[in-house]
Structure 1
Amino acid sequence: MVRVAILGASGYGGSELLRLLGAHPEVELVGFSSRAYAGRPLSAAWPHIDVDTPFSEVEEAVAEAELVFMALPNGISMELSPRLLEEGRRVIDLSGDFRLPPAVFERWYGMEHRSPGWYEEARYGLVELFRADLPGARLVANPGCYVTAATLALAPLVAAGLDGEIDISAMSGVSGAGRDAGGTAFAEVNENLKPYKPAGEHRHTAEIELNLARVRAQGPEPRTHGPARERPLVFTPHLVPMTRGILVTAFVTLLRQVTADGLRELFADFYENEPFVRLTAELPQTKGTYGSNTVWISQRLDERTGRVVVFAAIDNLVKGASGQAVQNMNVVYGFPETAGLQTHGIWP
């Protein structure tokens, strides 16, 4: 049993970690913290959980932990993680603090990176593409939610060298903005659909580009490393009036011709035996992934324009955050990769 603590357990990501880790056969949850709810019972933040154990301060929450999940706002993990790592603990960070090279992070996140030396220690936790990096890792950077869906949608095409111009349109439920986010009041989002941070403004753009550069360097076998060749892409996110879920629609100009059958075979070969990748001819729906750690991917060849359209759906709080973090933990410790995780969504 791995002794685990959750920092930031009163946020949406923290809530999903509580749910998933509470049912994990290899985990003992020994502490959880919240700045907003410190000293108050868990049920004060999450009334659906009938537990009166109080939220602890950080020091008490991590005192017995071997592994700490950081479900905290950007900028906090880079300050807390180095000390925890130096004390011999492992860290899985759900924020953006260790996903990008420090100089790139500072440009896209608009803040100084206060632990740049630890970036080289971090392993990027997109298991389906970079699984070989993770066993025994001390510090894991959990990918962004949009990034997860977009990268997995595009990786087979990129690895095969088929991708020319890439244009991504993505839609997310309101929980992606976090529990304390402004501008997500019911009156603002209900019966409303709006784009935000378009034209290269959203910070996940850089993370998607870096991931695809790594895939481009690896080629069709997603297990090794090589020099990354970044290529700009268009990423346009939208906020939709639902609680959770992400749907990505990616438009790809092909560099050479491919048949519809060849396209299906390409994706099937690339994701063969991946437990959390569902490839079907049916078009993805976010409700089909609700509560699961699965990404649902489907593709279409537009023979009239010579472009490929790839669709991907995930639950932004599970495969896009906490479920992926648990999947990373499973690989780090050598547990069965599916331990504590669901491959089927909840319907309706």
Structure 2
Amino acid sequence: MTSVDVLILGASGYGGGELLRWLSMHPAVASLRGTARSHAGKPFHAQHPHLRGLVEGTFEATPDWEALAASERPVLFSALPHGEFGKLWPELEAAWPAGLAERLTIIDLSADFRLDPAWIYGLVDWKPERMKGATRIANPGCFATALHLALLPLAEWRPAFIAVTAATGSSGSGAAPSDTTHHPTRAADFRAYKVLGHQHEAEVLRTLASEGWEAPLSFVPQSAPMVRGIFATAQFPLPAGIDAAALRARYEAAYADRFFVRIVDGSPRVAATTGSAFADIAVAARGGHGAVMVALDNLGKGMAAQAVQNLNLALGLPEWTGLKAAGSWPG
């Protein structure tokens, strides 16, 4: 099996912690390092207490590019806040030792390069062959992942209207609290935000357009009183003659070979996906109208676990390598 050495930029946040958790169990990872300027010198478990005794190492103030360049298969994950990696990009490239850029596999968890055509958009369940050998991968957003999974099988039908509501947990806003994202202000509340104007729409619309569908999408994101998880519901008119069984068959066919996408009965359950790389999908149809529901962990399938899937596919490994783990049911 290919052996890689990994460096995580911004390893102290929720995404960084999830990467440390998954990669520490990955059989192809030979070494694992992480930077966090404000926590430099502290052990990983100081910010991620669940990793105590399991993941050794300390946060470094700056990347050791020379050490990474010494690796035969160097890998860089960026879990920096949105906007930071893109701003640092010229500085990072200038600091790399000769020959590193050509050998370095980079997976960015932020939004900085998702619309950049020079980067591969890392939606692993859409044409996964795109990932093989990729060295610049932009990981999708968590809402975008759920919406893609719900909508891509409908592209051939091109419904005249798509209405999506999707609720997310507080961890989706990152580790730094604000007046609207701090968990105590939302734990007993439920509200919509960025109505009809969420930044993840652009990712979804671009992918659907590449499938020949200029989708008439109406998206309302919601803030839910949970820590982890996304639950998205897409509603749309059905083609004549399509009932619930035919709609389900379409999704079963679309994801037949996708290990981490499960078609379930009734309603998906967020808690059944928490802490895992799985996304659960269910469908319903009545009176010419269809509904597709998607549940996933925003930090797992919607972020770090999907990033590890991207690494696996880029290296030519089975996509489930290091990721075959059940969620933490009941939550």
How does the TM-score come out when normalised to structure 1? 0.85
Counterpart of 1:220 in structure 2 is: none
How many equivalent residue pairs?
314
**Cα drift, residue 144 of structure 1:** 0.4
SS at match of 1:291: coil
Q: Distance in 1 between matches of 2:162 and 2:220?
A: 11
**How big is each residue's C-alpha offset from its partner over 1:76-113, in whole Å with a ceiling of 9 and x where there is no partner?**
2224446157363110000001111xxxxxxxxxxxxx
Identify the residue that residue 203 of structure 1 maps to in structure 2: 199
Choose from 131, 136, 145 the match for 1:134. Answer: 131
Aligned-partner residue type, residue 156 of structure 1: P
In structure 2, the CA distance between the partners of 1:173 and 1:311, relative to structure 1 (3 Å rule), is same
Instruction: Tell me how far apart the structure 1 counterparts of residues 282 and 67 of structure 2 sit (CA, whole Å).
Output: 45
Unaligned 5+ segments in structure 1 are 101-118, 218-228
Q: Distance in 2 between matches of 1:287 and 1:133?
A: 31
Task: Provide the C-alpha distance between the structure 1 equivalents of 2:165 and 2:204, rounded to a whole number of angstroms.
Answer: 13
Match of 1:60 in 2: 64
In structure 1, C-alpha distance between the alignment counterparts of 2:89 and 2:310, rounded to whole Å: 17
The one-character-per-residue Cα deviations of 1:292-322 (angstroms, maximum 9, x if unpaired) are 111100000022xx11110000000000000
The residue number in structure 1 matching 2:107 is 92
Offset, 1:162: 4.3
Q: Please report how far the alpha carbon of residue 43 of structure 1 lies from its aligned counterpart in structure 2 after TM superposition.
A: 2.4
Alignment partner for residue 282 of structure 2, among 277, 298, 308? 298
Q: Do the aligned residues in 2 keep the contact of 1:291 with 1:342 (CA within 8 Å)? A: no
SS at match of 2:81: coil
Does structure 1 conserve the Cα–Cα contact (< 8 Å) formed by 2:38 and 2:61?
no
Could you say which residue in structure 2 is the equivalent of 1:104? Answer: none
For 1:239-318, list aligned pairs within 5 A. 239-303=223-287, 306-318=288-300
Partners of 2:129 and 2:106 in 1: CA distance: 18
- Write the distance in 1 (CA, Å) between the matches of 2:25 and 2:56: 18
- Alignment match of 2:152 (pick from 134, 155, 159): 155
1:73 aligned partner: 81
SS at match of 1:243: coil
Q: Deviation digits for residues 175-201 of structure 1, max 9, x if unmatched?
A: 0000013123343112111111102x2
- Cα deviation code 1:92-138 (max 9, x no counterpart): 000001111xxxxxxxxxxxxxxxxxx33210111111312111111
Unaligned runs of 5+ in 2: none
CA-to-aligned-CA distance 1:225-254 (integer Å, 9 cap, x gap): xxxx43331111111111100000111123
- Do the aligned partners of 1:298 and 1:311 also contact (CA within 8 Å) in 2? yes
- Matched residues in 2 for 1:337 and 1:9: separation? 23
Supply the distance in 2 between the matched residues of 1:12 and 1:152 (Cα, whole angstroms): 23
Task: Answer whether contact 1:134 1:331 (CA < 8 A) is retained.
Answer: yes
Using the aligned pairs only, state the percent identity.
40
Query: In structure 2, which of residues 3, 19, 32 is the aligned counterpart of residue 17 of structure 1?
Result: 19
The letter of the residue matching 2:190 is L
RMSD, aligned CA: 1.8
TM-score, length of structure 2 as denominator length: 0.89
Deviations 1:166-223 (A, max 9, x none): 0100000000000013123343112111111102x21011112112222x33xxxxxx
SS in 1 for 2:161: strand
